[in-house]
């Protein structure tokens, strides 16, 4: 009889969002229904994100990373989560199972110039992240009004991630029709199975 290893999925929201927005509650329920642990991370003051406050919040809510950890992040949550992971991966032996980054980026955005100070504080060591997160996926939308697709491709290269394009998905928000996110579920389902 083979026992199913319980995975820990952390869902990290972005700017001007909360854990109850978009597809986050839906994905959380799907993961739990499959018998795994899911936590939607709460990042305070998301309308005026503070880099240090977000890092402390991630540390409090994702205190333990291991090979059964899966990080799912959206938009500015990708920058914050990747910096946090970069800081945690001090030893080459430490790894997580996978990271999935939706509308991710690592460079300042023309659409939201006020986030520049937040973004430039993130330190992303490509080699360290690739070693400690051997499986990474980036998902971009062909018509994202906030994060241009080349920005997500750039992040994908930094992480050596598999990159997927979804046509006309906007910024993967509820207002774009993303209260559910079936493409995401298809990505995460095999990770929960093994």
Stated as kind and residue range, the H or E segment containing 59 is helix 51-61
**Burial track 116-129 (b if 16+ CB lie within 10 A, e otherwise):** eebbeebebbeebb
Concerning whether 144 is annotated as a catalytic residue, the answer is yes
Roughly how many angstroms between the first and final C-alpha of the chain, as a whole number?
Answer: 15
With the CA atoms of 58, 64, 70 and 74 taken in that order, what torsion angle do they form, in degrees rounded to the nearest 10?
0
Residue 171 annotated to the active site: yes
Beta strands in the chain (DSSP E): 8-12, 37-41, 69-74, 98-102, 136-141, 162-166
Q: What whole-number distance in Å separates Cα of residue 18 and Cα of residue 77?
A: 11
> Chain centroid to CA 122: how far?
14
Active-site residue, from 57, 75, 132, 156:
75
**178: Cβ–Cβ under 8 A, 6 or more apart, which residues?**
22, 23, 169, 170, 172
Is residue 170 within 8 A of residue 141, CB to CB? The reply is yes
E strand or H helix that includes residue 127: helix 126-132
Instruction: Say which of 28, 57, 141, 144 is annotated catalytic.
Output: 144
Residues with catalytic function: 75, 144, 171
């Amino acid at each position: 009889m083979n026992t199913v290893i319980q995975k820990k999925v952390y869902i990290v929201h972005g700017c001007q969002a909360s854990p109850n927005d978009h597809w986050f509650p839906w994905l959380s329920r799907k993961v739990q229904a499959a018998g795994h642990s899911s936590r939607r991370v709460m990042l305070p003051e998301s309308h005026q994100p503070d880099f240090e406050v977000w890092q402390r919040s991630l540390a409090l809510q994702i205190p333990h990373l291991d090979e059964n950890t899966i990080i799912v992040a959206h938009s500015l949550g990708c920058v914050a989560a990747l910096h946090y992971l970069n800081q945690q991966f001090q030893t080459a032996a430490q790894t997580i199972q996978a990271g999935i980054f939706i509308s991710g980026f690592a460079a300042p955005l023309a659409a939201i110039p006020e986030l520049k100070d937040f973004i430039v504080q993130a330190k992303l060591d490509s080699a360290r992240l690739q070693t400690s997160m051997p499986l990474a996926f980036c998902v971009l939308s062909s018509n994202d009004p906030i994060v241009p697709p080349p920005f997500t491709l750039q992040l994908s290269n930094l992480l050596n991630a598999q990159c997927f394009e979804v046509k006309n998905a906007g910024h993967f928000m509820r207002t774009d029709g993303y209260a559910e996110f079936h493409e995401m579920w298809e990505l995460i389902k095999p990770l929960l199975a093994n």
